[in-house]
Amino acid sequence: MATAMLNLVPAFTFILAIVCRMEKHEWRSTSSQAKVLGTTISIAGAFVVTFYKGPTILRLPHQLLSSPQINWILGGLLLAVEAFINSAWYVIQTMVLKKFPAVLTVMFYLCFFNAILSAIYSLFLVKDLSAWKLKPNIGLVAILYSAIVATTFRISLCSWCLWKVGPLYVSMFKPLAIIFAAVMGIVFLGDDLSLGRVIGAIIIVSGFYGVLWGKAKEESGEESLRSPLLQNRTEDKRSFA
């Protein structure tokens, strides 16, 4: 369910980007229609993965984890709030990087204050000092992976993409996490591969490529508008020369 609720991130991001005038939207434009339709299709595909199971295609002998239904509604509401906050973070970070395009400096302060807040929260939550000792086991590998790949590399790459292409393009990669989560669950947790997951994955990818096509068409249209202007300026300079 946690990964399925990521489908709300592109929708929230698209709405906030339009409100903040960070995304151009013209209802008669094919690029805008492709972005809206692609976002809607990706959201629909994520809901298919969540609510439609269908017949089992591949069944593994052992299932390591089950999915309890305890506090399902409360968890869904909290995940929806998290999706909205994540979308707002994309928009705010894009605004900051547009005003101050120093990605490494912004990432330094972000990781620095994130580490401080995480340390305070962890000290309040885990009071056993022995739990803070690092041991050469899988826990140390998880810490290093989380620090290097999941935090430093991921946030830096995400910020660079926000600076270059905007929040909507970055948020459209969120529904793809549902596909990766389903694959990881099948490989490592012994989950069953159902028809609903396959159909939902195909729908998500279709919507994802629809948004990419819309963004590419929008950028190509802007480039075609710039080319005559540059050509006219060049001709004017030659005439004055």
Tokens, residue 62:
């052992």
Report residue 83: phi and psi, to 5°.
Answer: -65, -40
* Model pTM score: 0.65
Residue 78 has a CB neighbour count (10 Å cut-off) of: 13
Look over the chain and give the mean of its residue pLDDT values, rounded to a whole number: 75
pLDDT in tens, 60-114: 655 544 555 446 567 667 777 888 888 888 888 888 888 888 888 888 888 888 8
The reported pLDDT for the residue numbered 225 is: 52
Residue owning tokens 């968890």? 75
The full set of domain ranges for the chain reads 4-240
Place 130 in a pLDDT band, splitting at 50, 70 and 90: confident
The reported pLDDT for the residue numbered 168 is: 77
pLDDT in tens, 183-208: 787 777 777 777 877 787 788 778 87
